[in-house]
Amino acid sequence: MIPSDQPHLGMIALSHPGERRSSNEDRYRTAHYTTSGSQPQPVIFAAVADGIGGHQAGEVAAELTVDNMLAEVAASNGARPLETLKKGVLRAWSHVHQQSEQLAQYEGMGSTVAAVMVISSRLYTVTVGDSRIYLLHDGQLRQISIDHTWVQEALDHAIITHEEARNHPNAHVLRRHIGGGKAPEPDFRLVLNAGESDRSALNNQGYVLTPGDQVLLCSDGLTDLLSGQEIQTALTERPPQDAVRFLLDTACSRGGHDNVTILLLTAPDTLVTADFKIARFLLMSFFSVLLLLLITGLALALGWWFGIWPWM
């Protein structure tokens, strides 16, 4: 990857320790690049991590997670984004696990992560844990990631209802995280429609963003205190910078019992998608061929009219 001067999407991020904690165990990273080669494409990487393990240890785990994922992306060429994101997750796990094994003060630490790569206009996602990714498209907000929690599994198996899940004591019991003795399975499901199969969700990777689309990554300090409808209203009724500030301030005003991190990507009105580039190329090629045929036809007609035939 070649570092670029400007991101091709709007990027806004805010993080706050909340109202009840002295330290912030959340971490986020953003970076923007251009791929090398004959047809360079703009690339954005963004990640949010929520540390586990108490004071300092959680911070270290989250820091290791986002830094190692960023390093893996920076070393890639952008050709296989899902493979790169998977390597990033496993690299992060390796470093977190190693530190927790070697240093007593970091024993048991871990982290969640929600990360995306946007290559040109195509969106690729990965998650581990309960940090989330949302997509706002045509004014409608959808959670496109799936929580790896006890409560989510209970919902999937109809053990509890959505009403019971809201304040369930196991709401933050993670089934998957970066840390521990076993490498986590990165989740590449990108859910665009309710009830779609895992295979369908996996096939949604590479979703083409359109102008005005917004991708929001956040820690559970936000989603514990604001509903999806409230997040949607903020994003649709306010400019991006104001919306992110409003969401963070609202979470804090409602108790802010956890760290809050919000990272928002916005596709600009001038976003030129890869599909549009292909369509434009084909259209230009068609008209070029048509023009050439017209010129050739005109030349032949003039030659016939004036009796100037090269084979006569």
Calculate Rg over the CA atoms of the chain: 24
pLDDT of residue 28: 98
DSSP state of 255: T
- The single residue listed with the structure tokens 């400007």 is 6
pLDDT of residue 98: 95
Share of the chain above pLDDT 70, in %: 89
Q: CA of 208: how far to CAs of 56, 84, 106, 132, 275, in Å?
A: 39, 19, 40, 19, 8
User: Hey, where are the domains in the chain?
Assistant: 2-270, 273-312
More confident residue, 175 or 310: 175
Question: Token digits for 146?
Answer: 């799936």
Spatial separation of the C-alpha atoms in residues 260 and 10, rounded to whole Å: 20
pLDDT tens for each residue of 191-244: 999 889 999 999 999 999 999 999 999 999 999 999 999 999 999 999 999 999
Whole-prediction pTM: 0.86
Answer yes or no: is pLDDT of 258 > 80: yes
Spatial separation of the C-alpha atoms in residues 246 and 235, rounded to whole Å: 10
Answer yes or no: is pLDDT of 297 > 90: no
Question: Token digits for 289?
Answer: 């061929």
pLDDT tens for each residue of 43-59: 999 999 999 986 679 99
To 10 degrees, the CA torsion angle through 203, 204, 206, 208? 140
More confident residue, 150 or 9: 9
Q: What CATH fold (topology level) applies to the domain 2-270?
A: Phosphatase 2c; domain 1 (3.60.40)
User: Which of these, 267, 220, 252, 253, lies nearest to 114 by C-alpha position?
Assistant: 220
Give the bridge partners for 143, in sequence order.
Answer: 134
* 34 within 8 A of 41, measured Cβ to Cβ: yes
Spatial separation of the C-alpha atoms in residues 222 and 239, rounded to whole Å: 19
- The single residue listed with the structure tokens 């989250």 is 62
Confidence class of residue 20 from pLDDT cuts 50, 70 and 90?
confident
**Element (DSSP H or E) covering residue 25:** none
pLDDT of residue 77: 93
* 136 within 8 A of 214, measured Cβ to Cβ: yes
> Coil, strand or helix: which one is 212?
coil
pLDDT tens for each residue of 64-102: 999 999 999 999 999 999 999 999 999 999 999 999 999
Average pLDDT score over residue span 237-255: 97
**Helix 228-237 vs helix 240-253: angle between axes, to the nearest 10 degrees?**
140
b/e map of 261-285 (b: 16 or more CB within 10 Å)?
bbbbbbbeeebebeeeeeeeeeeee
pLDDT of residue 312: 52
Give the bridge partners for 134, in sequence order.
Answer: 143, 216
Confidence class of residue 305 from pLDDT cuts 50, 70 and 90?
low
Spatial separation of the C-alpha atoms in residues 129 and 119, rounded to whole Å: 24
Spatial separation of the C-alpha atoms in residues 116 and 81, rounded to whole Å: 9
Answer yes or no: is pLDDT of 161 > 60: yes
Q: What is the mean pLDDT of the chain?
A: 90
